Amino acid sequence: MKKALLIALVLVMTGCSTKFTYNNLTWLAYWYLDDYVELTSEQKKVIDQKLYDWQLWHRYQELPKYQTHLNQLQQDVAEHKLTMARLEYHHQQISEHWQRLKQKVVPELVALAPMLSKEQVEQLFAELAKRNAEKRDELLKELAKSPQKQKEQALDELTSDLNDWLGSLNVAQEQLASRALDDYLDNRMLWLDYRSGYQAALKTQLLELIQAPDQQKQLRLAEDLLTPEGYRSEQLKTRHQANVLKYRQFLLSMNNLLSQTQRQHLVNEINEYNKEIAALLRE
C-alpha cells in the first residue's frame, strides 16, 4: 500500500522507531527547527509547553482514530475487500486525520507568531529559499538525464517500496509498476514553483503580522496555512488530481495481483504500525 498513507497516520516517521520518534518529539522538533531559525530561551519555553500539549492531545485523541483506521485497512486487505470506493474512503480518512491535526495546531501556532523578530523571519525564509534552490538544481540535473534513465531510477525506487510492503514482486507486478510510471505526470517543477510562491506569500504576511499584530492578519495567515491549495496553479491542480486517480487505479490493480503470501506480508506490515500505536497508548 501507499507508504505515505501509513506515514500520515502516525504523524512522524524517520529511520528511528515510531515509539522513539513520538516520545522524543520535542527534542526532534528543536533539532529540525535549528536548521531554519535560532530561537531565544523564552521562545523555547513557550514552544516546549505547546509541544507537550499538542503531543498529549494527539496521543489520546488522535492515535485511537489512527488505530481504528488501520484496523479497517488491515481488514480490507486481508479479506480482499479493497475496491476503488474503499481506496477513496481510505484516502479521505487520511485527509481528515491531517486536517484535524492542522485545525488543532495552526491557530495556536499563528498566535505565537508575534514572538518572532523580523530577523528570525528573514532567517527562516532565507533558509527555505536556499533549500528550494537546492531542490531545483537537483531536479534540473535529474531532468537532464535521458527519459529512460529517469524511468529506471523511478522504477527502482517504486520497486524497493513495494518490496518493503509486499515482499518480492513477480513479473506481472513489475510490468504493472513500469506501466504505471509511463502514465504518471511529472509535476515536480510545478510543485517547486508552487512552494516558492506560497512561501513568499507567507513571508509577507508574517512580516506584516509581527510589525503590527491584529486579529484579522492572524486569521488570514491561519487560513492560508490551513488551505494552501489556493496557491497552486490550475495546471498543478489538474495534473495532481489526474495522478491521484492513476495511483488509486495502480493500487487496485496491484492488489488484484497479490499472492496470498504477499497479502499476508502486507497485513503483517500494517499490524506492526498498529502495535506501535498500541504501545504508545499504554504509556
The total of other beta-carbon atoms located within 10 Å of residue 96's CB is 12
User: Distance between CA atoms of 74 and 140, rounded to whole angstroms?
Assistant: 40
Residue 35 banded pLDDT, cuts 50, 70, 90: confident
Find the radius of gyration of the CA atoms of the chain: 21
pLDDT reading at 25 higher than 70: no
User: Distance between CA atoms of 274 and 70, rounded to whole angstroms?
Assistant: 7
- Class of residue 102 by CB neighbours under 10 A (exposed 0-12, middle 13-18, buried 19+): middle
* pLDDT attached to residue 39: 86
pLDDT reading at 55 higher than 90: no
- Class of residue 248 by CB neighbours under 10 A (exposed 0-12, middle 13-18, buried 19+): middle
Residue bearing the bigger pLDDT, 2 or 192: 192
DSSP 218-244: HHHHHHHHH-GGGGS-HHHHHHHHHHH
> C-alpha grid cell for residue 269?
506490515
pLDDT digits 0-9 by tens, 239-250 = 999 999 999 999
* pLDDT attached to residue 26: 57
Residue 278's φ and ψ, nearest 5 degrees, are: -60, -40
Answer yes or no: are the C-beta atoms of 73 and 79 closer than 8 Å: no
The 3 state secondary structure assigned to 180-200 is: HHHHCCCCHHHHHHHHHHHHH
Residue 32 banded pLDDT, cuts 50, 70, 90: low
Answer yes or no: are the C-beta atoms of 280 and 19 closer than 8 Å: yes
> C-alpha grid cell for residue 147?
527519459
* pLDDT attached to residue 37: 83
pLDDT reading at 17 higher than 50: no
In the chain the first and final C-alpha atoms are separated, in Å, by 29
Q: Could you give the 3-state DSSP secondary structure of residue 163?
A: helix
pLDDT reading at 11 higher than 60: no
Which domain, by its residues, includes 151? 3-282
User: Distance between CA atoms of 153 and 159, rounded to whole angstroms?
Assistant: 10
Answer yes or no: are the C-beta atoms of 257 and 176 closer than 8 Å: yes
pLDDT reading at 23 higher than 80: no
Give me the mean pLDDT over the 264-275 stretch: 93
How many structural domains does the chain have?
Answer: 1
